[in-house]
Amino acid sequence: MKIAVAGKGGVGKTFISGTLARLFARDGYSVLAVDADPNINLSSTLGIERSVAERIVPLSENEPLIASRTGVPPGGSYGLVFRLTPKVDDIVDKYGVVGPDGVRLLVMGTVKGGGTGCMCPANALLRVLLQHLLIQRREIVILDMVAGLEHLGRGTARRVDAMLSVVEPRMKSVETARRILTLARDIEIPEVLAVGNKIEGEKQRAFVRERMEELGIPVVAYIPYDPAVAEADMLGVSPLDYDGSSPAIKAVAELKEELKRRYAL
């Protein structure tokens, strides 16, 4: 099962990705969480210790790795010929960090000018790596995306089973969901599912339900606004460790069950 989580900035992509990853892992699945966000905050949501997280170098910034795999020395010009099929199958084991519940985290970092056809060495490496993660790896892979879908090219995107589009009960967030839907169809992601987040009350729930109905996106979970999640963030701890039975965590657990049903996991 390969899941990409997308949505407008600050809607809760990282909270949902990280919590979902740990809950699947607690059910005995082997889970790889991929951070494609420049703020690298998935580690704290996953409950990885700060001292460990601080030492992680995003792959996009790992110049010796990029150089050795693509054949282009650091600072080498784009004009140089580089390997289009660098070796990537050992990267998860070498650079992944294992956190609580056994979730493995891989911090990719961002690709500059990605999707626009920039074929700099870092891009080439990440693109091939992503293909490998989506096609060859057998575990549940959860991609915490930046607002857009810059890492996913056509072809690779087809291997994403579902894109979770996280929406807050705000018009701007709905607009982003609409753009994500268009983009997802364009790159042929098989299914887009909406997850309502930070929902307070029936009116907000109805707002998300109606707007998503208009777009034709099924809503698979409504996650309430939960002060415990915000408090965990302020303390820099994982919401799951802060209060594992808070309402938002319970809603993410229901989302996990819904995904299991839909995909017969």
Ligand X SMILES: Nc1ncnc2c1ncn2[C@@H]1O[C@H](COP(=O)(O)OP(=O)(O)OP(=O)(O)O)[C@@H](O)[C@H]1O
Do the Cβ atoms of 70 and 86 come closer than 8 Å? yes
* Residue 64 found at the interface with ligand X (CB under 6 A): no
Spatial separation of the C-alpha atoms in residues 158 and 160, rounded to whole Å: 5
199 DSSP β-pair partners: 224
Is 34 a binding residue for ligand X by CB under 6 A? The answer is: no
Alpha carbon distance 265, 261 (integer Å):
7
Which one of residues 1, 2, 3, 13 is an interface residue with ligand X (CB under 6 A)? 13
Give me the least distance between CB of 262 and Mg ion, in Å please. Answer: 24
Q: Does 168 bind Mg ion (CB under 5 A)?
A: no
Tell me: does residue 82 bind ligand X (CB under 6 A).
no
Q: Does 33 bind ligand X (CB under 6 A)?
A: no
Q: Does 249 bind ligand X (CB under 6 A)?
A: no
* Shortest distance in whole angstroms from residue 37 CB to ligand X: 5
What are 163's two structure tokens?
């894109």
User: Looking at 12-20, 133-141, 190-198, 253-261, which segment touches Mg ion (CB under 5 A)?
Assistant: 12-20
Residue in the block written with tokens 């299991």: 260
| Phi, psi of 189, rounded to the nearest 5 degrees | -75, 130
**List of residues 6+ apart from 235 with CB closer than 8 A:** 242
Q: Which residues bind ligand X (CB under 6 A)?
A: 7, 9-15, 37, 39, 41, 147, 197-198, 223, 225-226, 229-230, 233, 248
